[in-house]
Structure 1
């Protein structure tokens, strides 16, 4: 009992603590391991994944179905005064003109705000540059163009026009903003809303759309009265296709079944030029 006399109460406590320690160790060894994380990351939740939208696949998107709608963009004039002023610097000339060179003047309807469309000089410069470009109508030696000063002697009057005046001159039977050529005064009527905003099928390429708009409507003015459908899926669109509205034959067929477009699902790429290679053949 000397051990008890020397250590007092600790002589009894030490054996008890040893027994408790052994018991705890045995219990831990017998417990199965828990491999589940205490807080699984939220990203692994099946419920959360089900609520997410699917990853967009470009192959599933239809880029042509809203072509006729006017894109968002800058302001334009709803109603002008119905009278026109002549703008630009005469002198631009191109093309062999065999047998004919078309003379033209460039005009802007009074009441349009020049800040909306880039100014008179900007509009006139785009018209001149388009009609004298080698990829334009003058790639065919049959055609030539000359910018003159006298509106009374011009074969074509290329006019930037407000929405209301465009509707009056071109009609609005499609309930879409379009431009036109009218034989009443041989006028190429360019809808200012389209000049400012462009068209969805051109995917934001406003410069190319403006070139197309000039070439298409001037094409009517020099004798190409009929529209032309997309010739082959994936090909460049013919200049006389109604690219403002769509690049798809089937879409254009839905818009106006009386037009020339077959319901064949052929869809072209946008194109601003009569002869994109600069050659007729």
Structure 2
């Protein structure tokens, strides 16, 4: 009986010896598994939207703005000032200088010799006016179509002269033959075509911005008088005005025209106007 008890106790001791190391090994294994599990499981990430979302009361990218409307009126823009009108001397010295040199005859028929002069103190040069007169009288739409030729000369003998004069002098030259040019108009008296430099420089409303055409109208009108042509009226609304019409006084429905003839060589005319 005693022998069985001792044998039993020895068996229990052996089982305890075996169980303790196994428990220790099992504990080490469980600890390792737990450690690996903690290392391999990432920490949940905070959503990016949550990290960058600004405070709803103080926006990060928009500065506070004053919601009250501006009461300051915009500054008015100034319109550009028109350029000043060219200066036109009212009177000059009363003496004249002739353009130097001469030109070839232009046109066919009887040759008319002419001189171009400008008043001293008028601020126009005789050469510049002579260039314009030569251009006008040589044009195929001009008076050469009537069977005459023109040649500019420097001095006598000549058939007529073109004088560019200040308003006061132009009035005096025209008034000597009973014409009232009112400080504005041009005239032809005897052998002289008188050009008022006021209109030559400032033009007329009918030819605004067209100095070459206005100069042609003046020269052709007054040379036409020298050739014996009288005043004409408007032939009809929308038609070109005859160069012998007093266009500076109004077009009366016609279209401004500086030439005696059209491109086909036909005379542009209208009803005669009583003197």
Gaps of 5+ in 2: 1-83, 268-275
2:256 equivalent in structure 1:
270
Give the 3 Å change call, closer, same or farther, for CA 228–139 of structure 1 in structure 2.
same
Work out which of the two has the higher radius of gyration on C-alpha atoms and give 1 or 2. 2
CA distance in 2 between partners of 1:277 and 1:237 (Å): 15
Answer yes or no: is the 8 Å Cα contact 2:187–2:195 preserved in 1.
yes
Structure 2 CA distance for aligned equivalents of residues 272 and 156 of structure 1: 21
Give the Cα separation in 2 of the matches to 1:122 and 1:278.
Answer: 30
Q: CA separation in 1, counterparts of 2:180 and 2:97?
A: 28
Aligned to 1:177: 184
- Name the CA distance, whole Å, in 2 between partners of 1:84 and 1:212: 23
Flag the 1:126–1:177 CA change in 2: closer, same or farther, 3 A: same
The whole-number CA distance in structure 2 between the counterparts of 1:213 and 1:81 is 23
- Structure 1 stretches lacking a partner, 5+ long: 1-71, 249-266
* Residue 140 (structure 2) pairs with residue 134 (structure 1): yes
Which structure would you say has the larger RCO, counting Cα contacts within 8 Å and 6 or more residues apart? Answer: 1
2:228 pairs with 1:223: yes
**In structure 1, C-alpha distance between the alignment counterparts of 2:181 and 2:119, rounded to whole Å:** 23
In the TM superposition, residue 176 of structure 1 has moved relative to its aligned partner by 5.7
Supply the RMSD in Å over aligned alpha carbons: 1.8
Q: Structure 1 residue 206: deviation in Å?
A: 1.6
- Pairing 1:8-23 to 2, within 5 Å after superposition: none
- What do the CA deviations read for 1:29-84 (whole angstroms, capped 9, x no partner)? xxxxxxxxxxxxxxxxxxxxxxxxxxxxxxxxxxxxxxxxxxx8311121112211
Match of 1:194 in 2: 199
When the two structures are superposed, what TM-score results if normalisation uses the length of structure 1? 0.61
Change over 3 Å in CA distance of 1:228–1:88 after alignment to 2:
farther
Partner of 2:91: 79
8 A Cα contact 2:174 2:181, kept in partner: no
**Runs of 4 or more above 3 Å deviation:** 171-176
Tell me which residue corresponds to 2:29. none
Matched, 1:109 2:119: yes
Q: How many residues align?
A: 181
Is 1:203 paired with 2:202? no
Measure, in 1, the Cα distance between the counterparts of 2:172 and 2:264.
36
Q: Specify which of 161, 168, 173 is matched with residue 165 of structure 2.
A: 161
Inter-partner Cα distance in structure 1 for 2:192 and 2:148: 18
TM-score when normalising by structure 2: 0.62
Q: Are the structure 2 counterparts of residues 82 and 174 from structure 1 closer, same or farther at C-alpha, using a change threshold of 3 Å?
A: closer
Q: Distance in 2 between matches of 1:148 and 1:278?
A: 30
